[in-house]
A = this chain, B = another copy of it.
Amino acid sequence: MFVGLWVRNMAVKTVLIVYAHQSAGSFNAAIKDATVDVLKNQGCNVLVSDLYEMNFKATATKDDITGAVKNSEHFCYGEETMLAWQEGRLASDIVEEHKKLKEADIVIFQFPMYWFSVPAIMKGWMDRVLTLGFAYTSEKRYSAGIFREKKAMLSFTTGSHETMFSSNGINGDLNVTLWPVQNGVLNYCGFQVLAPQVFWAPTHLSSEARDSLLKDWRTRLQGLLSEVPLSFPPIDSFDEVKGFQLKPEVHEKQADSPFGLTVGHHLEKPLPPHSQMKAGV
């Protein structure tokens, strides 16, 4: 049993980096390269999906299905791709990403923030690869999600300074901006969501200051795989019979807190500080 435990702990971890920058000379490329380097040195198996290099198809179309669609008059992407997945008729590029995702213990999304979100090519990866049936069903989602044994995180550069992405800053609180992706994509599929790694406005920094950010990231990477994830309410906090509303007992339990549960489940109270940015808060 001791040996079994040892083997499990020492098992090679697989990391999938979903990477979206057009240029190998970019700071995003340098971050990605540092990630590959540190994790390989830890003995991890590192896979990289370099979306621009792969000329990754971003749009969800009929071409994602080989053979006939079920209802060509009213094509529903979700249903049709679920069927194609069940029948082994999904486009080969989606199947390739499915393989990587199945292998992965952790997925790191590396990108420059575009319009308060991921670039379209990365949104396309999410739209196409997180196939209904493969990545979620109406029963298997959130803490009951298909990927609940896996971890995922966002690592990105911004164009704006940190202070501008605060509650007092012109762009508003970054915790709010991150909610749809961290809750609506990652947590939705069951991933344990690690705190994001934010590289603030690197184009405004000297090359020494950027090196220092990379050094901090390398340090974080040493312990990344054992980090505690961000906190989201488990799915049994909600009553399925009552339209997935928060159970009264969970609501009551939160009554003494000055804060809501999460950014989205704020319960008409102030948002819990940093809840999409730091674990254990």
A-to-B contact residues, CB < 8 Å: 22-23, 25-26, 52, 56, 58-62, 73-78, 114-121, 123-124, 126-128, 130, 142, 159, 161, 163-164, 166-173, 176-177, 179-181, 183-185, 188, 203, 235, 238, 243-246, 251, 260, 262-271, 273
Distance in angstroms between the alpha carbons of A130 and B267 in the assembled complex: 35
Closest Cβ–Cβ distance, residue A206 to chain B (whole Å) = 15
Whether the pair A127, B142 counts as a contact (CB closer than 8 A) is: no
Distance in angstroms between the alpha carbons of A87 and B77 in the assembled complex: 39
User: How many copies, total?
Assistant: 2
Given contacts A58-B121, A168-B245, list 13 more A-B pairs with CB under 8 A.
A23-B73, A23-B74, A56-B59, A58-B59, A60-B114, A116-B180, A120-B120, A163-B243, A168-B251, A170-B245, A172-B262, A172-B265, A172-B266
Complex partner residue of A22 from B75, B169, B265, CB under 8 angstroms:
B75
Distance in angstroms between the alpha carbons of A251 and B166 in the assembled complex: 14
Closest Cβ–Cβ distance, residue A191 to chain B (whole Å) = 13
Whether the pair A172, B163 counts as a contact (CB closer than 8 A) is: no
Whether the pair B169, A243 counts as a contact (CB closer than 8 A) is: yes
Distance in angstroms between the alpha carbons of A177 and B121 in the assembled complex: 20
Distance in angstroms between the alpha carbons of A138 and B103 in the assembled complex: 43
Which residues of the other chain, B, contact A78 by a CB distance below 8 angstroms? 159
Which residues of the other chain, B, contact A126 by a CB distance below 8 angstroms? 115, 120
Whether the pair A119, B177 counts as a contact (CB closer than 8 A) is: no
6 tightest CB-CB pairs across the interface, nearest first?
Answer: A172-B264, A116-B184, A120-B124, A25-B74, A116-B180, A170-B244
Complex partner residue of A58 from B124, B130, B267, CB under 8 angstroms:
B124
Complex partner residue of A264 from B26, B167, B270, CB under 8 angstroms:
B167
Distance in angstroms between the alpha carbons of A253 and B59 in the assembled complex: 46
Which residues of the other chain, B, contact A262 by a CB distance below 8 angstroms? 172
Distance in angstroms between the alpha carbons of A273 and B268 in the assembled complex: 8
Supposing A22-B60, A114-B60, A130-B115 touch, asked if A172 and B176 sit within 8 A by C-beta, the answer is no
Which of A123, A170, A266 gathers most chain B CB within 10 Å? Answer: A170
Whether the pair A184, B244 counts as a contact (CB closer than 8 A) is: no
Whether the pair B260, A167 counts as a contact (CB closer than 8 A) is: yes
- Kindly report which residue of chain B lies nearest to residue A186, judged by CB atoms: B115
Supposing A22-B60, A60-B121, A120-B124 touch, asked if A172 and B168 sit within 8 A by C-beta, the answer is no
Distance in angstroms between the alpha carbons of A122 and B73 in the assembled complex: 22
- Kindly report which residue of chain B lies nearest to residue A60, judged by CB atoms: B119
Whether the pair A167, B127 counts as a contact (CB closer than 8 A) is: no
Supposing A184-B177, A271-B266 touch, asked if A168 and B246 sit within 8 A by C-beta, the answer is yes
